[in-house]
Structure 1
Amino acid sequence: MKNINIVDTQILSDNWYTLKKVVFEMTGIDGATSILEREAYDRGNGATILLYNKENQTVVLTRQFRLPTFINGNDTGYLIECCAGLLDHDNAEDCIRRETEEETGFRIDQVEKVFEAYMSPGSVTELLCFFVAAYSSDMKLHDGGGLQEENEEIEVLELPFEKALNMMKCGEIRDGKTMMLLQYAQLAGLML
């Protein structure tokens, strides 16, 4: 295990989220010490969920514009994803219930946490909590779509599970968290 000592931290940007430049001393296994600099983007931790209906063999996903994908070559900038959001000041379960209702229009009570993962640990501090929850049509309160005051324009998609798996295979679904939850659902037999 390497020994780490933070030497200096500078805030490079505190506009949308916080970008820090960190200088640290690291002692390697061989005992040699190095001074390194890295940048880390802190956007807070988050939660994501896959809504599934075993009886109908469907899942609820969303489609929304993601600027980083657009500037990285995604022609439209739109991604198909599982519902997700930042924790802000909530715990992960309260966050995902709130985000699910805002984005999809479904009010869910029972959620199951299945794992946690760092999504881009080379540069982003975010730890994401992954959930699954069963849904039914009687849980639908409104059309969803996100919050207007946050300029969210989210399209809600109810898709056959097999179609979602095929969309992942052919590249229509390219969001990491969504791919992980779809594969989890398949491996865990949620639709059986």
Structure 2
Amino acid sequence: MANYAEKVAYWYFRLNGFFPLANYVLHAKNGRGSADTDLIAIRMPFATEKVGSSDAIDNNEFSDQGIVISKTCAIICEVKSGRKVSLSDIKSIKNTERLKDAVGRIGFVDQGCIDEIVGNIIEFGSWQDEGEKFYICTRLVCSDRTILTGLDGIVKISLDSMQNFISKRMSQNFKETDWYHFGDDYIQMVIKSNGRNTD
């Protein structure tokens, strides 16, 4: 079951045009145990969504961080809610073998290209193909108050800014009947905190 931080991350990406896959299992192989990636979020280059009668506006944090959502884009996320995070806590975005599994499961490219792609992701935090169709990056999602130990060069998305974005989006002009389509407990809590009656 997803914890609070994982739910925030899931809905942040969902409301920014991504298809989020939570707790994505990376199956055991070659004697290694199974593991999972907290979240893989995939977005198509021409994704659009209406909020009420207007087009939804994506959070500008993506462009600020150099995330290329104009391409078919995948973000591999480690989501942490604790007070401290170290390298051993974020294996799915810094461990070569786990990244190979994740990139292979995403399926943007032929399996023979994965070593090179993962090498780029480990070194630079992202990869994009020469044909400029696909983009993959990694991100750590955590609170602004989280203490990061030994994580120089790790790019994070603030859990706090995610929550602010979701609250703002859910306060926009949906038709009243639209609220009933959001069954998730976290989203219902946000809707009620914005003064909407969901009963």
TM range (shorter): under 0.3
The structure with more radius of gyration: 1
* Greater fraction strand: 1
TM-score of the two chains, using structure 1 as the length reference: 0.26
* Greater fraction helix: 2
TM-score of the two chains, using structure 2 as the length reference: 0.25
